[in-house]
Amino acid sequence: MNRVSTVPLLITIAIVISLATSSCATRQSSTRIAEPEKDRALAELKRAVEERIASAERVRLEEESRIRVSAPYFYKRFDLYPAGTGEPEFTIKETGSSLKPYETTVIVKKARFTTKYHASRSACARDKEFMRDIGTETDTYVYENGTWSLLYSVFETESTSVLKGDTWQQVPGVVERIAKGESESVFGNVANFFRGIF
């Protein structure tokens, strides 16, 4: 009687040991897979950042003439990433989520060129004078479905300069960003405001 009842007990113990061994092997296997995946994610991130930097130069002429709206003003802007400022800094961290396993911040030097803010679109279109802001861009990316997506970007200005002849001269103190002396009727300002919104 005792011998008969110990057989199922032995079978149960064997199954538990087998499952535990299998679970450990699976955990070790998933750990081995995670490291190559992280390496692939980092390589993909570097490629995405390099493409973002290269594309800024490619679209420069198009961006230089494009009028943007920040109601009730109009302005033009383009960005460049100066050569020789060093490699972008990467900080990658694991999120613990299986859907979005990695998040990262990328820090890179950037030059942002902006005209003054104009009350009218036509005045903005005529403006060819850009101010140059040198600073640091911090981009936050998330890794999902094998690709990196940019969540948001923050640009911090370190210095501002204006072009005098052929040289950029640094502007001390607060820089006036809004164009002055543009004649614009009240009706024109209201029309521009709604144009900016819609």
Mean pLDDT of 86-97: 85
Q: Domain containing 151: what range?
A: 2-197
pLDDT of residue 57: 87
Q: What is this structure's pTM?
A: 0.70
Confidence of residue 194 (pLDDT cuts 50, 70, 90): low
% of the chain residues with pLDDT over 90? 48
| pLDDT surpassing 80 at residue 187 | no
Q: How confident is the model at residue 36 (pLDDT cuts 50, 70, 90)?
A: confident
**How many domains would you assign to the chain?**
1
pLDDT digits 0-9 by tens, 135-147:
999 999 999 988 9
- Give the angle 86-88-93 at the CA atoms, nearest 5°: 145
Q: Is 128 helix (H, G, I), strand (E, B) or coil?
A: coil
